[in-house]
Chains A and B, each alone.
Chain A
Amino acid sequence: MSMMQASQTDSQNAAAKRPSTANIMRWVIIATLPGIVTMSYFFGLGVLSNVLLAAAFGMAFEAAILRLRKRPIRVTLNDSSALLTGVLLGVSLPPASPWWLIGVGMVAAIIVAKQLYGGLGHNPFNPAMVGYALLLVSFPTYMTLWAPPQGAVPTDLWAHISGSLPTAQLDSLSGATPLDAFKHKSEAMLASEFWAAQPLPSGTLTAWRLIAVAWLVGGVLLLVKRIISWHIPVAMLSSMILLATLFYLSSPSHAGSPLFHLLTGATLFGAFFIATDPVSAATSRRGKLIYGAGIGALIMIIRSVGGYPDAVAFAVLLMNLCVPLLDLYSVPRPTGHASRGDRR
């Protein structure tokens, strides 16, 4: 009898006892692997070089600033949060981004967005998204260099990374992401005409869809391992689907389908890996639901009427702004408070 009990509780416990903060960060990194592998398969080694460079910059900047702040370096580096920020920014950048672009992004992410606010746990904004947003507004040309899916070693890989590619050549290389292309189709063109015209190089759409599925796989892993809770991704994706459906039903000829919005761009990546960053997200369960729903809604609004095709980064940052308010007004009512009026 007690033998059975013992094993039963042990398994319960394995599910209940949480991994340490460092382990959480490492699990998130592990969960990005399907996405990274799939992206590398379609976009070549440039994806890997992004991730590696960004991660290396992340660690280096974190170490440097910890030294300046006279904080313990090894322990903090060990929590792997800087590494994770690097990985997340790395996969968001166009393949084979020049090293200085990545460097600038990581300076914004680690030094400005994270450490200047007090380090892990104190940053109000998602560091990777701060880096991404800064690059997007400062270097739009480089940030749209999404060449069509190609072989493992793209042409001029090294010139890309080292930043020695002549600017004149950049334009000829830039391809559009599906969201981008769809966003910039001419006003008069119907959605059906757009798709019929096969506006993207062959395989592009499939590539993005498979990448989205790979992020979903990683996200499910995080859910199963209880590294993240379901509240934010589910709220975010639901509100996106809801709004996308509304838009689609109101103008089927011009809006993208809900599935299109779900499977292109950074939607799934954002839902599982960006919006769920605990530090910059709302904390209470109710707050998380509102926070996630807000991100989803903002993404759809920016995609439909705003100037940026993807919008995940801006939506997350905007909702980061709302977190203090959400936290303040979503304080759950402790048990025992319902029945005695305002006795505090």
Chain B
Amino acid sequence: MPTAFDFPGGIYPPERKHRSQQSALLEAPLPRQVILPLQQHSGQPSTPCVNEGDVVKVGSIIARQEGMISSHLHASISGVIVEISATQITIDSDGRDDWQRLPEMNWQLSEPLALLERLNDSGIVGLGGAGFPTHIKTRVVEQHSIHTLVINAAECEPYITADDLTLRHYAGDVLEGAQLIAKLCGARHIVIGIEDNKPEAIEALRQVLSTSQPLAVQLKVIPTRYPSGGERQLIKKLLDLNVPSGGLPADVGVLCHNPGTLLACLQAVRDGQPLVSRVVTLTGDALAQPGNRWVRLGTSVRELLEQAGLDRAQLSHVIQGGPMMGSPLLTLDTPVTKLTNCLIAATFDELPQAPAESPCIRCGECESVCPVALLPQQLHWYARAKDDAKMQHYHLFDCIECGACSYVCPSHIPLVDDYRDAKNRLRHQRIETLKAEHAKHRFEFRQARIAREEAEKQARREARQSQNRRTPTAAASATSGEVDLRGLRIAHAAAKASVRKAEKTLARVAQEDPKQSLEDLEIQLATAQENLRAADIQLAQARKQQATETPAPAQNKESL
């Protein structure tokens, strides 16, 4: 029976962490070539800003963020850009490993805005799996007062030990990264939640706990149970707070980060080192030397596994991520990305294919393990019947896709797959029904862009005119210029507010449901930004004119 400080359900799959837990954290050999996908984060893919043939250093920006929910991408080796395709950039190494770092910063003395900018410039995204851009996540708190920063070190999925090893080697740095983020979001408490199956990491944390400042850090060791590392589950467990359905941890004043992300944040600020490598767990029975490695982003999975002693004959399949929520790789010729926390080279016996499914016998086992207290069997029934209304009645969108239900189902029904399909279908339907509105938003964006361009043109013309003849235009009087300025100022403030509102909405939606299509919201934001830019120009123009006692031209009033 769950207590007040507990989430319901949960399962105890075999951990299989010892294989990768025992060996030290090593540096993987420098790859000869890296392939860097443009989409390594939630939101829009980034846009290349280099050309084929360009020479880059480690840490050079090679693709810039596109839209708000996006992230910069940096070269992870020094060398030559050999190929830029629609989806990825390939770099050949020059073997020199030349670095281009950003200037070092002292986070305690820096302005929050400068720190946020640094996180953005460094391409930091959540390294736990969803890949949400960290600076946006930290900015979401602008509208919430955050009281607690939770370090999610539960790492509850079997096999994965990346956070475990990170904590063992960098406990102090992780805590410092947490202090940094706590400063940014104004948290007053820092709590680490870690499962009791990582005694060495706990010990390492204990060593540095007392020296961490300025905030006191609280260490909470929780029993090992899947999925206690789910954000909501952990917050319930540590703080006894319920994140509302469809809401964010920020709604209850909490921000969650995993140790890897916090370390990356600190390195970005303190060392000026952008996100170019990460810790990856290499494990599975088909590997002779399992363990954790610092891997440059873009390294080929095949190369990495072969270096770890991959036994081809034994290999059945490779899973990226954990066995519960990860997905099998279709090809080994795929690169490590910011989201790759674990690669499991499984043998046939280790993670066998699920047996054929049989009918649901309504045993209710799935319900008893669901950490969200859903009724998976009912969802299954209505998912198969494609009864969307009923699925929402049974709270389909509260499912965190943890897979606990599929794991225990005696009929071997792939329940999560059903839910994922259903969610995708419903999302798609929503987009379809919003299409008309979408078209309207696109139209508005075009209008806004035209208006902005018009304002720019106008400004240029005015500038030319005022240079040519410094005589005032006849028609307008000095007072009308003043009225104009007020109106423009108000319009400018309104435009600014609407940009901020659009940003807020976008950030929230993107974080609540990372798989949602954000295109429409990005367009609405872009529209607001165009309007703001136009208002900026007009305001600046009017100010200049007022300063030179030149009344504003009539067109400006009309375009407002």
- Interface size class on chain B is 35 or more
Q: Is B8 an interface residue (CB 8 A)?
A: yes
Q: Is B90 an interface residue (CB 8 A)?
A: no
- Chain B residue, CB-CB nearest to A340: B244
Q: Is B116 an interface residue (CB 8 A)?
A: no
Decide: B12 and A120 in contact? CB cutoff 8 A. no
- Chain B residue, CB-CB nearest to A16: B12
Chain A, range 1-59, C-beta contacts under 8 Å to B? 1-3, 5-6, 9-10, 12-13, 15-24
Task: Report whether over half of chain A's contact residues are helix, strand or loop; otherwise say mixed.
Answer: loop
Q: Is A288 an interface residue (CB 8 A)?
A: yes
Decide: B236 and A335 in contact? CB cutoff 8 A. yes
Chain A, range 138-179, C-beta contacts under 8 Å to B? none
Decide: B13 and A335 in contact? CB cutoff 8 A. no
Decide: A284 and B13 in contact? CB cutoff 8 A. no
* B414 → chain A closest CB, angstroms: 14
Residues 290-307 of A, flagged 1 when their CB comes within 8 A of B and 0 if not, give 000000000000000000
Query: Which of A100-108, A200-208, A326-334 touches B?
Result: A326-334
Decide: B18 and A13 in contact? CB cutoff 8 A. no
Tally A residues with Cβ within 8 Å of B. Answer: 47
Chain B, range 233-261, C-beta contacts under 8 Å to A? 236, 242-247
Q: Is A283 an interface residue (CB 8 A)?
A: yes
- Chain A residue, CB-CB nearest to B11: A16
Given the known interface contacts A24-B361, A340-B245, A343-B244, the answer about A18 and B373 at a Cβ–Cβ threshold of 8 Å is no
Residues 108-126 of B, flagged 1 when their CB comes within 8 A of A and 0 if not, give 0000000000000000000
Task: Please measure, in the bound complex, the distance between the C-alpha atom of A51 and the C-alpha atom of B374, giving whole angstroms.
Answer: 39
Task: Please measure, in the bound complex, the distance between the C-alpha atom of A285 and the C-alpha atom of B13, giving whole angstroms.
Answer: 23
Decide: B18 and A332 in contact? CB cutoff 8 A. no
Q: Is A75 an interface residue (CB 8 A)?
A: yes
Complex interface: chain B residues within 8 A of A258 (CB): none
- With beta carbons under 8 angstroms apart, the residue of A9, A13, A336 that contacts B372 is A336
Complex interface: chain A residues within 8 A of B294 (CB): none
Complex interface: chain A residues within 8 A of B163 (CB): none
Complex interface: chain B residues within 8 A of A9 (CB): 12, 14-15, 197, 224
* B324 → chain A closest CB, angstroms: 13
Given the known interface contacts A24-B363, A340-B245, the answer about A334 and B373 at a Cβ–Cβ threshold of 8 Å is yes
Complex interface: chain A residues within 8 A of B11 (CB): 16
- Chain B residue, CB-CB nearest to A121: B359
Task: Please measure, in the bound complex, the distance between the C-alpha atom of A81 and the C-alpha atom of B360, giving whole angstroms.
Answer: 12
Decide: B359 and A336 in contact? CB cutoff 8 A. no
- With beta carbons under 8 angstroms apart, the residue of A281, A285, A334, A338 that contacts B374 is A334
- With beta carbons under 8 angstroms apart, the residue of B244, B358, B378 that contacts A21 is B358
Task: Please measure, in the bound complex, the distance between the C-alpha atom of A118 and the C-alpha atom of B447, giving whole angstroms.
Answer: 58
Task: Please measure, in the bound complex, the distance between the C-alpha atom of A81 and the C-alpha atom of B346, giving whole angstroms.
Answer: 34
Complex interface: chain B residues within 8 A of A79 (CB): 358
Q: Is A70 an interface residue (CB 8 A)?
A: no
Task: Report whether over half of chain B's contact residues are helix, strand or loop; otherwise say mixed.
Answer: loop
Decide: A13 and B13 in contact? CB cutoff 8 A. yes
Complex interface: chain A residues within 8 A of B14 (CB): 9-10, 13
Given the known interface contacts A229-B368, A284-B364, the answer about A18 and B409 at a Cβ–Cβ threshold of 8 Å is yes
- Chain A residue, CB-CB nearest to B15: A9
Decide: A344 and B355 in contact? CB cutoff 8 A. no
Decide: A284 and B375 in contact? CB cutoff 8 A. yes
Given the known interface contacts A19-B410, A335-B232, A343-B246, the answer about A12 and B12 at a Cβ–Cβ threshold of 8 Å is yes
Chain A, range 198-256, C-beta contacts under 8 Å to B? 229
Q: Is A185 an interface residue (CB 8 A)?
A: no
Decide: B375 and A332 in contact? CB cutoff 8 A. yes
Residues 298-340 of B, flagged 1 when their CB comes within 8 A of A and 0 if not, give 0000000000000000000000000000000000000000000
Decide: B359 and A119 in contact? CB cutoff 8 A. yes
Task: Please measure, in the bound complex, the distance between the C-alpha atom of A78 and the C-alpha atom of B375, giving whole angstroms.
Answer: 27
- With beta carbons under 8 angstroms apart, the residue of B12, B15, B360 that contacts A6 is B15
Select the residue from B7, B358, B372, B408 with max chain A CB neighbours within 10 A.
Answer: B358
Binding site for A on B (CB under 8 A): 7-8, 11-15, 17-18, 21-22, 197, 199, 224, 232, 236, 242-247, 355-356, 358-365, 367-368, 371-375, 377-378, 392-395, 398, 407-412
Beyond the given A18-B365, A20-B412, A334-B373, could you list 11 further A-B residue pairs with CB under 8 A, ordered by the A residue number? A9-B224, A19-B410, A24-B363, A120-B358, A121-B362, A278-B362, A283-B362, A331-B375, A332-B367, A340-B244, A340-B245
**What are some 16 contacts across the A-B interface (CB < 8 A)?**
A2-B22, A20-B355, A20-B358, A21-B358, A279-B362, A283-B378, A285-B367, A334-B245, A335-B236, A335-B242, A336-B232, A336-B243, A336-B244, A336-B245, A337-B395, A344-B245
